[in-house]
Amino acid sequence: MSYASRRLAVKTGFISGLCVFSAVALGACGDSSPMETDSDSNTSTSDSGETTNPASSTGSTSEPTTAGPTGTDGETGTETTSQPMTSSTSSSSTSETTDPVETTIVPPECEDGEIGCQGNAELQCEDGEWGEPLPCEMGCNEGEGCIPCEEGQVICDGDAEQVCEGGVFSDPVVCDNVCVDEVGCALCDPGAKKCEDGDSYVCSEDGAQWELLEICDPVQGVFCNEDVGVCDGVCAVENLQLDYIGCEYYAVVTQHFEAAIPITNPFHVSISNTTDQVANVKINGGELNNDVDVEVAANSVEVVPLPWVEALYEGTGPTVLAEGGGYWIRSDQPVTVVQYSPLEADDTNDASLLLPTNAWDKDVMVAAFPAWVDPDFPQVQLPGFYAVVASRDGTTVTLNPSATGGNVQAGAGVNSNGTGEVMLNRGDVLQVVSKKDEGDVTGTIVSADQPIAIVSGHTCTEVPQDVNTCDHLEESMPPIIALSKEYVIVPPVQVPNNNLDKAQVIRVVATEDDTELVFEPDQGVNTTLANAGDFVEIPMTTNKFVVSSEKRILVTQYMVSAGAGFGQSDPSMVLAVGVDQWRADTLFHAPVTWQANFADIIAPLAASVSVDGVNVPDNAFEVIPDTDYKVAHVNLDNGGDGNHTVQADEPVSVSVYGVQSFGSYWAVGGLDLQHF
């Protein structure tokens, strides 16, 4: 019974279900009839057999009394009963009336030791009365009292900390800075932002430290806004979208079969300005002795040659750490960047769309290809690789090899089983190389405590690995969080017969355990991937299809070698773009020095698409069987400056490639990089 209920019972004359009696009135509680008597009752019998009330001075019988609360003290719970007393004699009919007798009963409010609640306060019973309410920090349970706190729990009273000890909170201790609930005394409020030394900092989740949120780089036209504590300007991260357009990039030279490339054919980057303002671009790092400043006109592209970084470019291993080996590219307007390894048509080439730092994240999966041994020249043994670059000092990188990724060349803190933990500073590049005669780093997951980017591929390999000839592979890997669950896969075209498809090999990699794949139409391969990093490889094919899963997957495509009989160009690698990352407008560059350049456009069936302002006719598209998509292979005009645009009334996929005898490049034209 609650405290309030108990008080109500007292007011109505009931305590724990018992009636309250007057000391004189013996009638049944609430019953106005005479009381029954027996030999055990408090009465006496005269010699004549008359029953005598013990309160009577004679043997006559008194009138029965009526019991019940006749007076109630609503505050104390006491009752006062007044009952007239009568006397009679056997010799006289005259009755005497005496003064009334008053008797007061004070029933207890509660039982000693009983505990009750009044709101969020505890009541304790002592000597039959409730004591003063005792406030409870965690609330009150009826019959139990204050709810005890958890040992070590911390709460705040303003800027003072209280810690739970023995089920109760300690006295408040004033904090030097701030008090955070569930944390206690802290340096700062979690999530708070401030400007310090011109950069933006955010308070950590535990309130223990200020962490660098963003470098407010004046080269990018960015400054720290003191009013909100974050970087501001068109190139501030808060103002950039998660796509392939940004203001800060790192170009990464990767391992090559350098004997096949003359040193006069350098590494290049193309910088596309997607705005209506001039973009001022600065490049440093790598093998540069002095900064390179580039002015890119509105809605145009500039191509910039850069020296090869020998530590990354030459040889066939081991794993290396090139300090400052990445080329740091910064612009004061949003731009897109593609790296060409190398740009000019040669025996071994590839290209990769770079991802801006605003789209980086901390977990990235690798796609490459197996180590290759030339069957005609067994002394030629060439590995696959992945190169990790950091944009912030003190970035700790942890390597988690896949089932096939545990055979690497050790070095720079990386073990031969593919594991390792390596610290990188801004611009440092860690290039992990597979063993020369075995190993495939595909499926390896690289994690870091700060955002990173990865370019992965192969020094030079045949595709498939039993047909002539080898070519360099490389591609930027998006963060796992930006991968999709549905991809449309189409082959490129042959050269010189542009009416025919060129075969390709496809790999689908699981980012999570227990991944089930769906192919439409079916491709006759395994559809169950048990572990993250496992992959299925679709052998050489010209099929067009959709692959999907309920979990994020990574899909890569590889042109086959010229010896396979599908045109003259050799292998190249491209990342398939998930349907939910397609774009409606894309600006890109295709080097005019190549024999032929193409843009493959995959679109919804009803979409209208134009290239360089010219509508792509319906009959240029081929419907992909059993899907809602179509594809067109557009032969790009090499008579201009190599700059091209694709525009559509619905989002579409664009990949760009160039081919020639014994060479090729293949790159994503553009994509969104939403983090799902």
Q: Which of 106-120, 541-555, 657-671 has the highest mean pLDDT?
A: 541-555
How much is the pLDDT for 40? 43
Structural domain including 307 reads 246-670
Percent of the chain with pLDDT over 70: 84
Q: What is the pLDDT of residue 182?
A: 85
Q: Region 174-181: what's the mean pLDDT?
A: 93
The helix/strand/coil state of 529 is: strand
Q: Is the peptide bond before 491 cis (omega within 30 degrees of 0)?
A: no
Of the three residues 49, 80, 107, the one that is the final residue of a domain is 107
Q: In the predicted model, is pLDDT for residue 676 greater than 80?
A: no
- Per-residue model confidence (pLDDT) at position 81: 43
pLDDT in tens, 587-598: 899 999 898 999
DSSP H/E element including 7: helix 3-11
Q: Which among 503, 506, 502, 500 is positioned nearest to 523, based on CA atoms?
A: 506
Mean pLDDT value of segment 560-572 = 91
484 shares a domain with 338: yes
Residue 483 lies in a domain: yes
Residue 62 has pLDDT above 90, yes or no: no
> What is the structure's pLDDT at 100?
60
In a domain, 88, yes or no: yes
Residue with tokens 């979409």: 607
Residues 580 and 558 in one domain: yes
pLDDT, tens digit, for every residue of 507-529?
999 999 999 999 999 999 999 99
Give the residue from 573, 510, 512, 514 showing the smallest Cα distance to 547.
510
* Average pLDDT of the residues of the chain: 85
654 pLDDT exceeds 80?
Answer: yes
Residue 187: count of CB within 10 angstroms of its CB: 17
- Candidate from 95-104, 319-328, 627-636, 650-659 with smallest mean pLDDT: 95-104
Assess if residue 164 is contained within a domain: no
For residues 232 and 355, membership in a common domain is answered with: no
pLDDT at 167: 82
Alpha-carbon distance of 117 to 3, in angstroms, equals 7
The verdict on residue 426 lying in a domain is yes
Q: Where does a domain end: 107, 125, 160?
A: 107
> Are both 254 and 231 inside the same structural domain?
no
The answer to whether residues 309 and 443 belong to one domain is: yes
Q: Residue 562 and residue 502: Cα distance in Å, rounded?
A: 10
Q: Which of 577, 583, 599 is nearest to 666 (CA)?
A: 599
Residue 372's Cβ-side half-sphere holds a number of Cα atoms within 13 Å equal to 26
Instruction: Assess whether 203 and 276 both reside in one domain.
Output: no
Give phi and psi for 635, each to the nearest 5.
-80, 115
Q: What are phi and psi of 358, to 5 degrees?
A: -70, -15
34-43, 98-107, 445-454: which has the minimum mean pLDDT? 34-43
Using one digit for the tens of pLDDT, what is the confidence trace for 384-404? 999 999 999 999 999 999 999
Domain co-membership, 304 together with 279:
yes
With cut-offs at 50, 70 and 90, classify the pLDDT of residue 608.
Answer: very high
> CA nearest 249: which of 198, 214, 284?
284
- The CA-based angle 423-224-361, given to 5 degrees, is 35
> Regarding predicted confidence, which is higher, 80 or 639?
639
| The pLDDT of residue 422 | 98
* Range of lowest pLDDT (15-19, 122-126, 467-471): 15-19
Cα pseudo-dihedral 234, 332, 483, 410, rounded to 10: -140
End of a domain among 182, 209, 239? Answer: 239
Q: Looking at residue 345, what is its pLDDT? A: 75
**pLDDT tens-digit readout, 26-57:** 344 444 443 443 444 444 444 444 444 433 33
The answer as to whether 174 is a domain residue is no
Which of the listed ranges 89-93, 145-149, 239-243, 441-445 does the model predict with the highest average pLDDT?
441-445
Q: Cα angle vertex 368, ends 366, 372, to 5°?
A: 150
Q: Which residues contact 11 (CB under 8 A, 6 or more apart)?
A: 72, 74, 77
- If one counts the domains in the chain, the total is 3
For residues 343 and 268, give the distance between their C-alpha atoms in angstroms, rounded to a whole number. Answer: 6
Report if residue 144 sits inside a domain: no
Confidence of residue 24 (pLDDT cuts 50, 70, 90): very low
> pLDDT digit string (tens) for 483-502?
999 999 999 999 888 889 99
For the chain, percent helix, then strand, then coil, each to nearest 5?
5, 45, 50
- Alpha helices for 274-427 (secondary structure H): 310-313
The answer to whether residue 258 is domain-embedded is: yes
Asked whether residue 409 carries a pLDDT value surpassing 70, the answer given is yes
Residue 675 reports pLDDT greater than 80: no
Same domain, 422 and 446: yes
Q: What is the mean pLDDT of residues 338-353?
A: 89
Residue 64 pLDDT > 60:
no
pLDDT band per the 50, 70, 90 thresholds, residue 98 = low
Do residues 646 and 612 share a domain? yes
In a domain, 120, yes or no: no
Judge if 469 and 363 occupy the same domain. Answer: yes
Rounded to two decimals, the pTM is: 0.75
Residue 242 banded pLDDT, cuts 50, 70, 90: confident
- pLDDT of 220 above 70: yes
pLDDT reported for residue 346: 75
| Torsion over CA: 530, 534, 535, 536 (sign) | negative
| Helix intervals (H) in 497-620 | none
Q: Are 279 and 228 members of one domain?
A: no
In this structure, are 224 and 301 located in the same domain? no
* Token representation of residue 376: 């005609």
- Residue 37: what pLDDT? 39
